[in-house]
């Protein structure tokens, strides 16, 4: 049984400010990358207890070089480093039995979200696909779904867990913290979070038979709301993007795969508009 884990960091228990997730930070980041790694390990242990054998992990945060190799089981495979074309969804392929999303967080624009954002706090305010507002979890879920692969586990803050399990009712949700504000949280301890994730992962594997790929079928219209006008100015340069208003662009795709690719490309191009000279 092949399990794929896309692991982000802002939804890790305890995390409530950017510097805890910033690889440049020398004080707090080394502590929190260890907690992130331990949560991934807990998910692997739970999956293994329920019969998973083949595990591929995609480190999906920032530099995408966060996980501590020597704290992972020896017989997993790791996708490490960035940038990579499909980003948080790199190497989700047909033949994977199910996907776990760990350390995920509320989407940009959410009110009750610790460090809420969607791919880039600097570039993206909000993105919708066929009218559905998308979090990182839903964007990845739909790419997995387009390849016939279901999401069975989501861990992170209670806002993203609630929203994702509403859209994907077959998935197990493990909320490790609640938002008090953008930079404050009421959180489980790392130990308690890891125990809950391990139990959740076990249950998620048991539910695979009932899980469904999540899809946006047919043509997909993406509305991309940038954080600023100058970001939208850059994204508009790309053929296929049509300006709706100062900060919003529309992209019509012949399927979700194209929409996802256009989204990732827009995030990367848009970032070029805010790099200081
Ligand atoms: Zn993220």
Q: Which residues contact 26 (CB under 8 A, 6 or more apart)?
A: none
What average pLDDT does this structure show over 164-188? 98
Span from the CA of 60 to the centroid of ligand 1 (angstroms): 7
Cis bond leading into 146, ω under 30°? no
Span from the CA of 30 to the centroid of ligand 1 (angstroms): 18
Span from the CA of 9 to the centroid of ligand 1 (angstroms): 7
| Mean pLDDT, all residues of the chain | 97
Span from the CA of 117 to the centroid of ligand 1 (angstroms): 7
Span from the CA of 104 to the centroid of ligand 1 (angstroms): 6
Span from the CA of 15 to the centroid of ligand 1 (angstroms): 12
Span from the CA of 10 to the centroid of ligand 1 (angstroms): 6
Structure tokens that stand for 277 in this block = 């000279």
What average pLDDT does this structure show over 227-242? 97
- Alpha-carbon span 46 to 235, nearest angstrom: 42
109-120 per-position pLDDT tens digit: 999 999 999 999
Query: Which residue's structure tokens are 């053929």?
Result: 239
Cis bond leading into 133, ω under 30°? no
What average pLDDT does this structure show over 216-237? 97
Span from the CA of 54 to the centroid of ligand 1 (angstroms): 25
- Alpha-carbon span 13 to 20, nearest angstrom: 11
Give the model's confidence band at 275: pLDDT under 50 very low, under 70 low, under 90 confident, else very high.
confident
32-79 per-position pLDDT tens digit: 999 999 999 999 999 999 999 999 999 999 999 999 999 999 999 999
| Coil, strand or helix at 229 | helix
- Alpha-carbon span 226 to 29, nearest angstrom: 28
User: Is 124 in contact with 228 (CB distance < 8 Å)?
Assistant: no
Give the model's confidence band at 277: pLDDT under 50 very low, under 70 low, under 90 confident, else very high.
low
Span from the CA of 136 to the centroid of ligand 1 (angstroms): 7
- Within 10 A of 22 (CB to CB), how many other CB atoms are there? 15
Span from the CA of 249 to the centroid of ligand 1 (angstroms): 22
Span from the CA of 5 to the centroid of ligand 1 (angstroms): 14
User: Is 216 in contact with 142 (CB distance < 8 Å)?
Assistant: yes
Domain residue ranges of the chain, discontinuous segments joined by +: 2-106+139-210
Span from the CA of 107 to the centroid of ligand 1 (angstroms): 8
pLDDT confidence of residue 228: 96
- Alpha-carbon span 30 to 34, nearest angstrom: 6
**Does position 134 have pLDDT exceeding 70, yes or no?**
yes
| CATH number of the domain located at residue range(s) 2-106+139-210 in this protein | 3.40.50.10780
Q: Which residues contact 192 (CB under 8 A, 6 or more apart)?
A: 13
pLDDT confidence of residue 45: 98
């Amino acid at each position: 049984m092949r399990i794929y884990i896309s692991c982000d960091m802002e939804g890790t228990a305890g995390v409530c400010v950017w510097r805890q997730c910033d690889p440049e930070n020398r004080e707090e980041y080394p502590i929190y990358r260890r907690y992130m790694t331990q949560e991934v390990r807990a998910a692997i242990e739970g999956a293994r207890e329920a019969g998973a054998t083949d595990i591929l992990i995609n480190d999906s945060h920032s530099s995408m070089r966060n996980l501590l190799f020597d704290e992972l089981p020896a017989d997993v495979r790791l996708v490490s480093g960035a940038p990579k074309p499909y980003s948080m969804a790199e190497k989700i392929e047909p033949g994977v039995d199910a996907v776990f999303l760990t350390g995920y967080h509320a989407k940009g624009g959410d009110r009750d979200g610790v460090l809420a954002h969607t791919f880039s706090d600097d570039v993206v305010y909000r993105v919708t696909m066929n009218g559905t507002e998308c979090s990182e979890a839903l964007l990845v879920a739909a790419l997995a779904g387009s390849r016939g692969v279901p999401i069975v586990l989501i861990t992170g803050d209670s806002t993203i867990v609630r929203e994702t399990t509403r859209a994907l009712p077959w998935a197990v949700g493990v909320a490790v913290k609640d938002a008090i504000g953008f930079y404050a949280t009421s959180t489980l301890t790392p130990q308690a979070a890891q125990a809950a994730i391990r139990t959740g992962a076990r249950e998620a594997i048991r539910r695979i038979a009932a899980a469904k790929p999540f899809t946006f079928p047919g043509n997909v219209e993406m509305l991309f709301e940038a954080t600023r006008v100058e970001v939208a100015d850059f994204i508009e340069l790309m053929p296929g993007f049509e300006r709706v208003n100062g900060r919003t662009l529309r992209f019509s795709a012949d399927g979700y795969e194209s929409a996802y690719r256009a989204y990732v490309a827009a995030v990367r191009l848009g970032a070029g508009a805010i790099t200081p000279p």
